[in-house]
A and B are shown apart, each in its own frame.
Chain A
Amino acid sequence: MSGNTWTTKTILSDGHKRTIRHVSWSKCGQYLASASFDGTTAIWSKASGEFECNATLEGHENEVKSCSWSSSGSLLATCSRDKSVWIWEVTGDDDFECAAVLSAHTQDVKRVIWHPTKEVLASCSYDNSIKMYAENALDNDWECTATLGGHSSTVWAIDFDAEGNRLVSVSDDCSMKVWRAYAPGNPEGIATPDNETVWKCVCTVAGEHSRTIYDVSWCKLTGLIATACGDDAIRLFKEDEETTTKNEPVFVLATAQDKAHMQDVNKVSWNPVVQHQLVSCSDDGTIKIWKFVE
């Protein structure tokens, strides 16, 4: 970026044979993972100065829908139409080993995302549910530790808040839900069977979106939630400071940008370091960068 203009720095090509569905930066910024409909996930590394594809992860049966790096950068999660979620461990420079294949969902898995600090993974699916996973120390095997049910249609996207105590989800049922984690021994006295953290839906925002919500991004700097919707609009939600409580938070619409794009908005993402800066992309073929002015 120079001034207010953005120019193409590099085009990464020849990594995939079909549509690229999702990309994910590692926290250190040295690696980019790309998930493709060709069933593979490509790892692009900047180690040599230029980005190069230095590993291709094969294993999914068909379209890979999403990928996500853990906060430490030592784990990568991918998910696919084959209903499975895979966890890959970085074992060497260009070496990845499959650490787990999780078949908890009964349908196409749309998105995976890691907890901002812990090695806890969340996924959401066409089966209307959200699942949480953690590694069991007894046998080094990953297992599903929680299922979050409540949406009545496909859950397209999820995102954690800055601390990772809450999760936001958006769905084809046109609603947005906020979930809260209750760890064993929580002061609220919420039961935690099998000594596992329980996630409860603490807030549902319905009636604001007129079509499928495809994406959500929870800003780690400001706490603002942005949604990408099939009605071509981008909406921002903020927690209402006057009425919100820990166990019953209230989120209100801060602003709605109608006709943000000419067609469906597919993705929104907050800038992790620049406050109030948001990027979006759409079926209309454009990418837009937004600045939120309060």
Chain B
Amino acid sequence: MSRFSGALQLTDLDDFITPSQECIKPVQIEKTKTKTGAKISIQEDGYYEETAAGKQKLQKVEITLQDCLACSGCITSAEGVLITQQSQDEVTKVLKENQELKASENTISQAKVIVFTVSQQPIVSLAQRYGLSVEKAAEHFSGYLRHLGADYVLTTKVADDLALLECRNEFIERFRDNAPDKPFPMLSSSCPGWVCYAEKTHGNFILPYIATTRSPQQIMGVLAKQLLGQKLNTPPEKIYHITIMPCYDKKLEASRSDFFNEVLNCKDVDCVITSIEIEQMLDDKTLDSFPCAPYDWPWGDAISAGDNSSHVWAHGLSTSGGYAEFIFQQAAKELFNTELETLEFKTLRNPDFREVSLEVDGKSVLKFAIANGFRNIQNLVQKLKRGKVQYHFVEVMACPSGCINGGAQIRPPTGQHIRDLTIQLEKLYRELPQSQPENVTTKTIYNNFFDGAHSDKSKVLLHTSYHAVEKMNTALNIKW
């Protein structure tokens, strides 16, 4: 069973390709001119050898995840590639090597700082799986990661807060500018399944609608490598950053070239591990067999009381970051001077499609929606193409029920329907304390690290760009 979101499983695939069989990737071969031309012979093990000027082993072609992402072909191959490049085995290997480096005084200087960042949804999933409260599950999980060799264990809270603030700023700016190249509705950008689907199938038509604010995972990537690096006086390439996420699509996101820092020569997030992989790594051990441990909070001295009083925070009620709720409330206040305590979302055709609107003098002035799952994405995109969408903002997530039901959350036990498990997870999520994104920490980080909101540095490090992928259309592929 694929752990990608439904949207990605669909994204142009060719059923019959597996990596290295039919994938085509041209290799550049440095050629010296010969009179007779070179002969290439294929060895039994599949290696090619050039035989003109003595035998010379030619470079073996390897398909990387990068190639898969840049290709308009199958995503199913990418899954195979991901399994080797961003797997629990890879993490275990890196951690083991690091332990060995640390063990000897000669090599300790080569050891990396291992940083884990944990998002909320996997903790909720683990809590449900191992019958623990969410807070207890979070503490035992921190203990487990430290047992594995973590030097720092962080949560995504600070990045979740920053993503909301930045996305709000982007929305309000877009609303005020009302420029033709930044059309409405603004579509949320934190779900990599949705972004990848948009790039591959709707390309240049849809991309201008999508917010450029980075997802919390990628904001965390910047904070872990650069801000934490500064504080520890450690160069970014000496930090190995692993995130714990509820879906496989996040692995694709971490692998995007946009999130490889050329200057620092490292990825913002080195590896992504999902809930279901944690369950496999724990094997037959239970989570509470690892002693509780705290989470690190290296974001400055000015921790407001309450910031670190809980490890797991909810953002609104959508379980996917709360973009629609937060931005709607903030925009109502900022643009229409209306304070809204609670929002009443109206369910449309199905529970995964909801809308909320603000009326001033009987006229709808602000209209937002949440569209989860592929069928609702589909209807949204088709309506958009026909110019029939009235919304200003849509929170779009590829999975039905949003991130709490991410494709790589722990599966329900035999006999339980995924729907019933999701209801339980949603209940746990809704009992969590609510984060207030405007707080001392985010303010300090904006001021001290990003040179303030709306600064050039924040535009670079808190935003990203998208790239349409050309479709391959070859008549040769026809299969009746």
Residues of A within 8 A of B (CB): 19, 21, 37, 58-59, 61-63, 81-84, 97-101, 103, 107-108, 126, 136, 138-141
Using Cβ atoms and an 8 Å threshold, which residues of chain B touch A107? Answer: 15
Q: A37-B478, A83-B13, A98-B375 are in contact. Are A139 and B350 (CB under 8 A)?
A: yes
Q: Which of A19, A103, A108, A139 is in CB contact (< 8 Å) with B10?
A: A103
Using Cβ atoms and an 8 Å threshold, which residues of chain B touch A58? Answer: 382, 385
Using Cβ atoms and an 8 Å threshold, which residues of chain B touch A101? Answer: 6, 10, 374-375, 378
Nearest Cβ on chain A to B238's Cβ, whole angstroms: 42
Q: Which of B201, B351, B382 is in CB contact (< 8 Å) with A98?
A: B382
7 A/B residue pairs, CB under 8 Å, sorted by A = A62-B12, A98-B375, A98-B379, A99-B375, A101-B374, A136-B419, A141-B400
Using Cβ atoms and an 8 Å threshold, which residues of chain A touch B480? Answer: 21
Using Cβ atoms and an 8 Å threshold, which residues of chain B touch A103? Answer: 6, 9-10
Residue of B nearest to A100 (CB): B375
Does B479 have its Cβ within 8 Å of any Cβ on chain A?
yes
Residue of B nearest to A84 (CB): B10
B12 touches A59 (CB 8 A): no
B201 touches A61 (CB 8 A): yes
B479 touches A108 (CB 8 A): yes
Bits for B379-407, please: 1 = Cβ < 8 Å to A, else 0.
10010010000000000000010000000
Please report the C-alpha to C-alpha distance between residue A108 and residue B248 in the assembled complex, in whole angstroms: 24
Q: Which of A97, A126, A138 is in CB contact (< 8 Å) with B15?
A: A126
Q: Which of B11, B350, B400, B479 is in CB contact (< 8 Å) with A61?
A: B11
Bits for B3-29, please: 1 = Cβ < 8 Å to A, else 0.
000100111110100000000000000
Please report the C-alpha to C-alpha distance between residue A37 and residue B379 in the assembled complex, in whole angstroms: 21
Residue of A nearest to B16 (CB): A107
Interchain residue pairs A-B with the least CB separation, the first 7: A98-B378, A98-B375, A61-B12, A140-B350, A101-B374, A97-B379, A59-B378
Does B33 have its Cβ within 8 Å of any Cβ on chain A?
no
Using Cβ atoms and an 8 Å threshold, which residues of chain B touch A63? Answer: 478-479
B12 touches A139 (CB 8 A): no
Does B349 have its Cβ within 8 Å of any Cβ on chain A?
yes
Interface residues in B, total, Cβ within 8 A: 22
Q: A37-B478, A107-B15 are in contact. Are A82 and B379 (CB under 8 A)?
A: no
Q: Which of B9, B382, B419, B478 is in CB contact (< 8 Å) with A139?
A: B419
Using Cβ atoms and an 8 Å threshold, which residues of chain B touch A21? Answer: 480
Residue of A nearest to B420 (CB): A138
A139 touches B351 (CB 8 A): yes
Q: Which of B12, B351, B419 is in CB contact (< 8 Å) with A82?
A: B12
Nearest Cβ on chain B to A107's Cβ, whole angstroms: 5
Please report the C-alpha to C-alpha distance between residue A61 and residue B471 in the assembled complex, in whole angstroms: 10
B13 touches A61 (CB 8 A): yes
Using Cβ atoms and an 8 Å threshold, which residues of chain B touch A141? Answer: 350, 400
Please report the C-alpha to C-alpha distance between residue A103 and residue B151 in the assembled complex, in whole angstroms: 41
Please report the C-alpha to C-alpha distance between residue A43 and residue B419 in the assembled complex, in whole angstroms: 34
Nearest Cβ on chain B to A187's Cβ, whole angstroms: 27
Please report the C-alpha to C-alpha distance between residue A19 and residue B479 in the assembled complex, in whole angstroms: 12
Using Cβ atoms and an 8 Å threshold, which residues of chain A touch B419? Answer: 136, 138-139
Interface residues of B in 331-365 (CB under 8 A from A): 349-351
Residue of B nearest to A91 (CB): B349
Please report the C-alpha to C-alpha distance between residue A136 and residue B420 in the assembled complex, in whole angstroms: 13
Using Cβ atoms and an 8 Å threshold, which residues of chain A touch B385? Answer: 58
Residue of A nearest to B477 (CB): A62
Nearest Cβ on chain A to B77's Cβ, whole angstroms: 14
Using Cβ atoms and an 8 Å threshold, which residues of chain A touch B378? Answer: 59, 98, 101
Please report the C-alpha to C-alpha distance between residue A139 and residue B15 in the assembled complex, in whole angstroms: 31
Using Cβ atoms and an 8 Å threshold, which residues of chain A touch B400? Answer: 141
Using Cβ atoms and an 8 Å threshold, which residues of chain A touch B9? Answer: 103
